[in-house]
Amino acid sequence: MHYLTNLWNALDFGSMQDMLLRLVSVFLCLTVHELCHGLAALALGDPTAKRQHRLSLNPLRHIDWIGFAMMVFAGFGWAKPVPVNPNYFKKPKQGMALTALAGPVSNFLLALLCLGLARGVCAMLPLAAWVATLAVFLMRTALLSIGLGIFNLIPIPPLDGSKVLFALLPDRQYELLLRYEHLGMILLWVLVISGAGGGWVSHVSWSIFTLFSHIVGI
């Protein structure tokens, strides 16, 4: 019993709470991102994501565990790509670009919502420890969501930014790049492992976070 008491006293519940809240933030940011990809594709005429049950708020339908770990420990990552069939789109290139953009845009909107809620929580509720915890959780979620949106706008396949870039190219170059799209994943892994680019992603994320905070009045 004495051993169990010492073990209990040694646990850092503050750190455990921080980790749990960070996991919730990651699940929320990734789920919203992927859900909005699927909704955008459906709105443009592609039912593939709906048929594969990806239009869901269940995070387990969207999580890529490596990308999830990167989000938890590095602040940027990815989820399982939502299946999209461009043959359903009237204009395949433009449809792919709009579907891709829906993910990052949803992350920026989620960040604005979280910051607005954080301001409301602080303004309307009496000061208490749980209120401060909730406000910090919302602000951290906002920053994480912005980071996810920025990271996915990098124009390297399979990230969303590449779909937008490809849509601006002539058909011949578009088809050529699609043929070598798999090489982008290798380049992406090199960037992630080496840490190259992480600094500017953080800088841009903080800049947008500051801008959004001013917009909502924090």
**Do residues 42 and 62 lie in contact, with contact meaning Cβ atoms separated by under 8 Å?**
no
C-alpha 172/C-alpha 115 separation (Å) is: 43
In degrees, rounded to 5, the angle at the alpha carbon of residue 20 between the alpha carbons of residues 111 and 210 is 25
Amino acid (1-letter code) at residue 40: A
Give me the catalytic one of 25, 29, 34, 151: 34
Determine whether 34 is an active site residue.
yes
DSSP state, 126? Answer: -
DSSP state, 82? Answer: P
C-alpha 209/C-alpha 112 separation (Å) is: 9
Q: Which two tokens stand for residue 56?
A: 């869901």
Neighbours of 104 (CB within 10 A): 24
Q: Could you give the residue numbers annotated as active site? A: 34
